[in-house]
Amino acid sequence: MSTTLERPATAGPAPEPPPPAPMKSSRIRWILMGLVVVLVLALAKGILPRRARTKAVATVVAQNNRAPAVSVITIDTAPGASTVILPGSVTAYATTPIYARVPGYIGALRVDIGSRVRRGELLARIDAPELDHQVQQARAVVTQDSASLVLAAVELRRWRLMLTADSAVTLEEVDIHQATYNVALATLNAAIAALRQLLSMQSYERVIAPFDGVITARNIDLGALVGTAGSVNGTLLSGQSAPLGSLFELARVDPLRVYVTVPEDNANGIAVGKPAVVTMPSLPGDTLRGHVVRTSNSLDPAARTLLAEVDVPNRKGTYFPGTYAEVQLQLSRPSSTLRLPATALVITAGPPQAVVLGAKSTVQFRTLTLGRDHGSWVEVTDGLVRGEKVVLNPPDLLKNATGAIARSLLRHRIVTSVRPAFVRRTTAVTTRAASTTPRRRRDPSTPTPGRRRRARRRRARSPRAMRRAPLRPTASARRRHRPPPARGARP
């Protein structure tokens, strides 16, 4: 048997609990310090980068809100005269083939290709014995007819004296002798005409130059048989450029003709008497100065070009016919034509445009009607007014924008050089600033779809909603209380 001894109760205050151990208080302090460090790190990691990004966005937006610097030019009229360089073809001033007029053999050949001849100079001699005999015969006929005329004249004089002296003859007999004299006179005239014809044909035995020039082709050799036009017996290598059947080809090379085909756009600026400068790529550094002497005054319906002729001197014979040349023509234009640099054009799928700077640094796209293209600048016939300012080398943002956005982009440029995380935000702000119609501000008290959705979620997670919601068994409880399968059924 055990006995339990109880301590008698004593009067007095209850003893105080012992103070907490020092180890527990230091542990709590370290935990609090760790929580503070974690909170500071979280703030440093989340808030500071966000503030930095916000500051960067604000800086970029401030930079883009500044109006960009653009170069402009004031539109002015084009100068009264301009030049255009067109291809041309150099030809001789006159070119003619020389044929044989009488048949015969070449008895003498005095010139060859490249020979410079003067007018009337002998080129070749044709031997035609048959023609010479015909000339001799015609001369004999003329002599015979002359004698017959003299005899008829003597007889007519004698019969007239007899009629006036003693009337031994009748008047009818005198008339017969008069008719005989007239027949003899006519016969003599016919013989003289035949002789002159043969002499003219005989003169063609001498082939002479019709004008000063250069022999460019020779189609005969010494002793060759020639005839009338086109009956030369062969074509030599030196005469391939000459027409078939010709003896020679003669060209006048001083001055030279330069033919230029002027396009339809420049045809109205060509006028007779305008100066022209002719250069030949085959002779660099040499220039020929001439003027427009004539035009066709009609456009070719197939090529839509105007044929113009420029005459240039060639006294030394340095330049050859058939050479390719470049002709610089002086054109005249209307005084209302404007001049625009080519760098100010905006070329798109449609007609050319220009960016015109308006009031308050706004821009406007203008559709232009262009005239002649001079390389570094073009003529504008419609779309601009003298004194307007046009942007040179317009930026791509201005080229791709239209309407009010284009006018506002001078002050609000879309940000594309920052991180993609806030590009969309900045772009949206810029586009909103670029719009011309003011947006209606939403009432803060009006609920939005997002606000409604968030409110529904908060109400669903509240304790009151949880108490009202029916309890749903968990998946483990459903498996525990599942009824056993029937006999014979597959598990």
pLDDT digits (tens, 9 = 90+) for 40-80: 777 777 777 777 778 887 777 666 656 566 788 888 877 66
Sign of the dihedral defined by the CA atoms of residues 188, 193, 194, 199, in that order: positive
CA distance 30 to 48: 26
Which helix (DSSP H) or strand (DSSP E) does residue 457 occupy?
A: helix 449-461
How far CA 284 is from CA of 89, 254, 324, in Å, comes to 17, 21, 12
Is the pLDDT confidence value at 432 over 60?
Answer: no
Residue type, 247: L
Nearest to 215 by CA among 252, 165, 176: 252
Question: How high is the pLDDT of residue 42?
Answer: 74
- Same domain membership, residue 322 and residue 356: no
Instruction: Annotate 321-356 with b (16+ C-beta within 10 A) or e (fewer).
Output: bebebebbbbbebeeebbbbeeebbbeeeeebbbbb
Q: Is 453 within a domain? A: no
Tell me, yes or no, whether 461 lies in a domain: no
Residues 416 and 302 in one domain: no
Is pLDDT larger for residue 476 or for residue 213? Answer: 213
Residue 212, domain CATH = 1.10.287
Range among 219-233, 358-372, 440-454 with highest mean pLDDT value: 358-372
Q: Is the pLDDT of residue 412 over 50?
A: no
294, 271 contact by CB (below 8 A): no
Domain boundary among 277, 301, 332: 332
Domain boundary among 239, 274, 290: 239
Same domain, 103 and 228: yes
Residue 466 has pLDDT above 90, yes or no: no
How many angstroms separate the CA atoms of 235 and 241, rounded? 10
Burial of 204 (0-12, 13-18, 19+ CB in 10 A): middle
CA distance 144 to 299: 65
199 and 260 together in one domain: no
Same domain, 352 and 425: yes
Residues 207 and 259 in one domain: no
More confident residue, 114 or 408: 114
- Rounded CA-CA distance 349/353 in Å is 11
Q: Which residues are registered as beta bridge partners of 324?
A: 89
392 — pLDDT class (breaks 50, 70, 90): confident
Find, among 295, 396, 348, the residue nearest to 70 by Cα: 396
120: Cα separation from own chain's centroid:
50
Question: Does any domain span residue 54?
Answer: no
pLDDT, residue 238, reads: 61
* Sign, Cα dihedral of 207, 210, 215, 217: negative
> Roughly how many angstroms between the first and final C-alpha of the chain, as a whole number?
63
Q: In the prediction, which pLDDT does 442 show?
A: 56
Name residue 292's beta-bridge partners. 310
Give pLDDT tens digits for 170-204: 888 888 888 999 999 999 999 999 999 999 999 99
CB–CB of 363/373 below 8 Å? Answer: no
Beta partners for residue 278, in sequence order: 288, 327
User: Is 58 contained in some domain?
Assistant: no
Q: Are residues 389 and 350 in the same domain?
A: yes
Where does a domain end: 387, 420, 435?
A: 435
* Displacement of CA 54 from its chain's centroid (Å): 52
Domain of 263, CATH number, reads: 2.40.30.170
> 9 versus 316: which is more confidently predicted?
316
Residue 227: pLDDT band (50, 70, 90) is confident
CATH (domain of 389): 2.40.420.20
Whole-angstrom Cα distance, residue 151 to residue 166? 23
User: Is the pLDDT at 414 greater than 50, yes or no?
Assistant: no
**Segments forming the whole domain that contains residue 269:** 252-332
Encoding tokens for residue 464?
A: 């009151």
**Most confident region among 9-18, 24-33, 80-89, 294-303 by mean pLDDT:** 294-303
Give pTM, 2 decimals: 0.54
Examine the domain organization and report whether 357 and 431 are in the same domain.
Answer: yes
Identity of residue 334: P
Q: Looking at the structure, tell me whether residues 100 and 149 fall in a common domain.
A: yes
pLDDT at 418 over 50: no
Whether residue 179 lies inside any domain: the answer is yes
Beta strands in 180-283 (DSSP E): 206-208, 213-218, 225-226, 248-263, 275-279
Asked if the structure places residue 205 within a domain, the reply is: yes
Q: Is 279 part of a structural domain of the chain?
A: yes
Residue scoring higher pLDDT (119 or 372):
119
Tens of pLDDT along 317-368?
888 999 999 999 988 766 667 888 888 888 888 888 888 887 777 788 888 8
Cα-only R_g, the chain: 58
Given this model, what pLDDT does residue 422 score?
A: 34
Whether residue 255 contacts residue 289, with contact meaning beta carbons closer than 8 Å, is answered with no
Say yes or no: 209 and 225 in one domain.
yes
Whole-number pLDDT of residue 86:
92
Residue appearing with tokens 């008290």: 445
Q: Are residues 182 and 315 in the same domain?
A: no
Report the 10 Å Cβ neighbour count for 260.
24
Mean pLDDT (the chain, rounded): 77
pLDDT recorded at residue 236: 65
Place of tokens 């002729």: 309
Which of these, 317, 283, 314, lies nearest to 114 by C-alpha position?
A: 317
Residues 328 and 344 in one domain: no
Structural domain count, the chain: 3
More confident residue, 254 or 39: 254
Residue 72 CB contacts under 8 Å (≥ 6 apart), including other chains = 357, 389, 390, 391, 392
**Residue 13: inside a domain:** no
